[in-house]
């Protein structure tokens, strides 16, 4: 029995190491490229009077720890599928199964993230999420700057999904890649992507969406989409106007100067 456990562990470790290296590589490459790009466009800063880069090394250290946890979740779920331990077998990878299951996982993870994020703003659990909110002016490095409990809740999807859905591995890995890059852009503090499609009646979001969550705390809990925030009344009341103003003027307004009263947006 012990020999079997050790053999399984030795089979798993290279998978975990590969996933971990991939996550860390994406984090650092995306971070350095985006920092270099945004330095050329200081006018696109969202919070004009705040610069979160003084926290860069704190955020990087916390992010490395969180990415190791996230990698453990992702690689464990994948390994379980390869060993036949899941409730369902994966669909064969094909031209239709990859985009279908990517889309299904995209929608489900957005719901998972919203509710996990709301729960983390609940009093008894907020202490595990508070370190992430130390970055009032988020940076590209702060996307993963969180605690182990925070990561387990928000990224637990990447472990569970393998057991309950017939996901081709590539669909989940592609979602994780998209989640990482879009999350880092969403935390960058610089707006380059605001457009009509990122405000009502469309469900997509731009960087300002999550930046408002960091600067004002009680709004905009979603990850990819604004659907759950709109359904639950937690979308920032000025968000659509910010986006509309950027469409009309081409300038990025200073969201930090707009304060609104606290609502019942916490769980």
Q: What is the pLDDT of residues 90-144, one digit of tens each?
A: 999 999 999 999 999 999 999 999 999 999 999 999 999 999 999 999 999 999 9
| Model pTM score | 0.92
Which two tokens mark 163?
């057991």
Q: Is residue 259 part of a domain?
A: no
Number of folded domains in the chain? Answer: 1
Domain limits at 27?
A: 2-190
Q: Is residue 233 part of a domain?
A: no
Q: Is residue 241 part of a domain?
A: no
Q: Is residue 11 part of a domain?
A: yes
Helix (H) or strand (E) holding 172, with range, is: helix 169-186
Whether the CB-CB separation of 260 and 238 falls below 8 Å is answered with yes
Burial of 119 (0-12, 13-18, 19+ CB in 10 A): middle
Q: What is the pLDDT of residues 214-252, one digit of tens each?
A: 998 899 999 999 999 999 999 999 999 989 988 888 778
DSSP secondary structure code for residue 88 in this structure:
S
Residue 82 makes CB contacts below 8 A (sequence gap 6+) with none
Q: What is the pLDDT of residue 258?
A: 54
Rg over alpha carbons for the chain, rounded to the nearest Å, is 19
Q: Is residue 126 part of a domain?
A: yes
Q: Flag whether pLDDT at 189 surpasses 80.
A: yes
Q: Flag whether pLDDT at 156 surpasses 50.
A: yes
Q: What is the pLDDT of residue 144?
A: 97
Q: Is residue 213 part of a domain?
A: no
Q: Is residue 220 part of a domain?
A: no
Q: Is residue 88 part of a domain?
A: yes
Q: Flag whether pLDDT at 205 surpasses 90.
A: yes
């Amino acid at each position: 029995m012990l020999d079997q456990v050790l053999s399984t562990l030795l089979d798993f470790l290279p998978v975990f190491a590969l996933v971990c290296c991939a996550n860390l590589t994406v984090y650092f490459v995306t971070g350095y490229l985006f920092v270099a790009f945004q330095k050329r466009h200081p006018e696109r800063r969202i919070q004009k009077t705040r610069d979160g880069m003084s926290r860069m090394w704190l955020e990087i250290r916390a992010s490395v720890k969180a990415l190791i946890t996230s990698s453990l979740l992702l690689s464990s779920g994948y390994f379980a599928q390869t060993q036949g331990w899941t409730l369902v077998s994966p669909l064969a990878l094909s031209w239709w199964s990859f985009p279908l299951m990517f889309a299904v996982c995209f929608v489900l993870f957005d719901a998972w993230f919203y509710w996990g994020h709301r729960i983390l703003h609940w009093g008894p659990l907020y202490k595990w999420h508070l370190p992430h909110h130390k970055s009032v002016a988020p940076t590209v490095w702060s996307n993963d700057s969180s605690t182990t409990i925070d990561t387990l809740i928000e990224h637990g999807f990447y472990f569970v999904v393998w057991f309950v859905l017939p996901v081709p591995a590539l669909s989940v890995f592609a979602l994780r890649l998209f989640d990482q890059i879009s999350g880092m852009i969403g935390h960058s503090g610089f707006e380059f992507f605001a457009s009509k499609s990122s405000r009502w009646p469309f469900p997509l979001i731009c960087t300002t969406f999550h930046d408002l969550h960091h600067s004002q705390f009680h709004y905009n809990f979603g990850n990819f989409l604004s659907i759950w925030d709109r359904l639950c009344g937690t979308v920032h009341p000025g968000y659509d106007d910010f986006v509309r103003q950027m469409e009309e003027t081409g300038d990025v307004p200073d969201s930090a100067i707009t304060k609104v009263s606290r609502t019942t947006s916490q769980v």
